[in-house]
Amino acid sequence: MVMDGKQRQFRIVANMAATQLEQLGYTVLKTATRSLTFDLIAFNTEHILFISTRRAKAPQSVKQTIHEHHDLVNEMQQTQVPSGAEKQLWIYQNHKGFTVFEFFPNGIMKVTA
């Protein structure tokens, strides 16, 4: 499979998130294609995380995230995951790291700065 520059950037960000999760003790499964809603599935003895990753040039509020990633946010909200699993959007900003947004039945909350 030949990746273009955008696909390569998506994969780099997903790999950075996977490395961070592995350092926190998670086992991480990476999806084979960007066409799925989630890039990573991470789990340990207490949590299951379904994660989409993206890159941003500047910090984003919840409102900005919803606006910029409208289609993805809608898809993530509608995608069913196992009971007790968490859905998260990890947005990477150069030199700042990841900002994590967690999805709940009635909204989204920024969980890290």
Number of domains in the chain: 1
Cα–Cα distance, 35 to 70 (Å, whole number): 16
Q: Which helix (H) or strand (E) holds 17?
A: helix 5-23
Question: What is the domain range of residue 22?
Answer: 5-110
Task: Report which of 69, 75, 14 is spatially closest to residue 42, judged by C-alpha positions.
Answer: 14
Q: Answer with the residue of higher pLDDT: 8 or 59.
A: 59
Cα–Cα distance, 92 to 13 (Å, whole number): 7
Three-state SS letters, 58-78: CCCCHHHHHHHCHHHHHHHHH
Burial class (CB in 10 A: 0-12, 13-18, 19+), 15: middle
Task: Give yes or no for a contact between 103 and 76, defined as CB atoms under 8 angstroms apart.
Answer: yes
**pLDDT given for residue 60 in this prediction:** 76
Tell me the average pLDDT across 46-73.
Answer: 88
CATH number at residue 33: 3.40.1350.10
Q: Please list the residues that pair with 50 across neighbouring strands.
A: 41, 87
**pLDDT given for residue 91 in this prediction:** 93
Query: 26-30: long-range contacts at Cβ-Cβ below 8 A with a sequence spacing of 24 or more?
Result: none
Tell me the average pLDDT across 60-82.
Answer: 88
Total length of the chain:
113
**pLDDT given for residue 22 in this prediction:** 97
Is the pLDDT score of 8 beyond 70?
no
